[in-house]
Amino acid sequence: MLHDAGVRTVVAPGWQNRSVSGTPPRPIGVLNHHTATPSSARNPAPSVQLTIDGRSDLAGPLCHIVIGTDGTAHVIAAGRANHAGRARASGPNPGGDGNTLYLGVEWDYDGTHPPSRAQYAAAVQVNAALLRHLQRPAEAARGHRETSVTGKVDPGHVDLDQFRRDIASAMAAPAGDDMQLSDEFTDWAGTKKTVQSLFDDLDRRLASFEHIFLKPGSEPSRIPGDTNRTNLRDAIMDTTARVVELQREAGRPAPWPEPLPSDNLAPPPHPESPETPQSKESGGEKPDGASEPRPSRKPSRTVAAGGAAGAVGTVAVWIASLYGVQMPEPVAASIVLVLSTVMTYLVPTPAPKQEARR
């Protein structure tokens, strides 16, 4: 029943016959509590065993269902449970023996702050499913503080009127028609997944993408000797800049012209002037005064290839890391640098037209 409501459900062995002695419950409502125990993502339902065993002053079971902070419902008992004490009339429900009148749902959190979203959502679905089964309205869901005659305050930081409105919406929705987070399917690789695990997976990958591309410090710097860390976007820029530098050191022509000083922008330099930036940069390679076509503003094939190789190497190293292949940073950085440098020298710079004619 809870499973059909899309709630991840775990049953504690022996739950069908677990009961304290006394009148079997004849529930007309659901009573919601907090356990007052700190829970966390790592330990989402620390009170399950305690609610089964009971305390020295109160025999277990102490409720019927425990909802973890992760939204998992642990079914503890089907019989009578010590959770409500005496109950005063509340909403549509009469007063009397609370443990006869109510099914008990413990939300496992400390009550000093609101429950987690997953816990709240699961509680809405659990209450809706139980009340539908009992053929009772959403108003029959109560908080312990609404029935207690001893001043209980649980569940803490929950707006119970809003909670009942949410239960009413859940009960109005056709049961089982919607896709649920717990629905299972088989993905393209034949892996069994749930809708929830698919979302979790997507979330992780997007976060990983964002981290490595944009967060500073996610990647080692590609500048030789630089011990700072950077991100992948800047690392690719650095690699490209390094390739340009290597070209200069090798005495090759600059891959693209230096920007002209703004005074010289109009009129443009005479195409036959020896003062064009290209001839300045590559000094000595061409006879002075030789006519020279205006250099293209596009980066040369060499630099594009080097940059692309660097980027491909970086992405490959990152993808490898996603699949658990961890390599020391210097190794990864060297692979990327060597790859881009090799490509820089392998892909020939197109020969200037002047030289091609001679």
Residues near Zn ion, by CB under 5 A: 33, 144, 154
In the complex with Zn ion, the residue whose CB is nearer, 102 or 276, is 102
Please identify which residue in the block is written with the tokens 């490595």: 212
Q: How far is the CB of 32 from Zn ion (least distance, A)?
A: 8
In the complex with Zn ion, the residue whose CB is nearer, 32 or 239, is 32
Q: How far is the CB of 149 from Zn ion (least distance, A)?
A: 12
Q: How far is the CB of 152 from Zn ion (least distance, A)?
A: 5
Alpha helices in the chain (DSSP H): 48-53, 98-101, 117-134, 144-147, 160-172, 195-214, 232-249, 277-281, 301-322, 329-346, 353-357
In the complex with Zn ion, the residue whose CB is nearer, 85 or 277, is 85
Q: How far is the CB of 155 from Zn ion (least distance, A)?
A: 8
Please identify which residue in the block is written with the tokens 């820029």: 237
Structure tokens at 74: 């642990």
- Tell me the C-alpha distance between 65 and 75, whole Å: 5
- Tell me the C-alpha distance between 124 and 30, whole Å: 11
Question: Which residue of this chain has its Cβ atom nearest to Zn ion in the complex?
Answer: 33
195-214 vs 232-249: helix axis angle to the nearest 10?
40
In the complex with Zn ion, the residue whose CB is nearer, 156 or 306, is 156
In the complex with Zn ion, the residue whose CB is nearer, 48 or 317, is 48
Q: How far is the CB of 132 from Zn ion (least distance, A)?
A: 23
Phi, psi (deg, nearest 5) at residue 194: -110, 165
Tell me how far the alpha carbon of residue 174 is from its chain's centroid: 30
Phi, psi (deg, nearest 5) at residue 209: -55, -50
Q: How far is the CB of 49 from Zn ion (least distance, A)?
A: 18
Structure tokens at 112: 């000093």
Length of the chain: 358
In the complex with Zn ion, the residue whose CB is nearer, 108 or 154, is 154
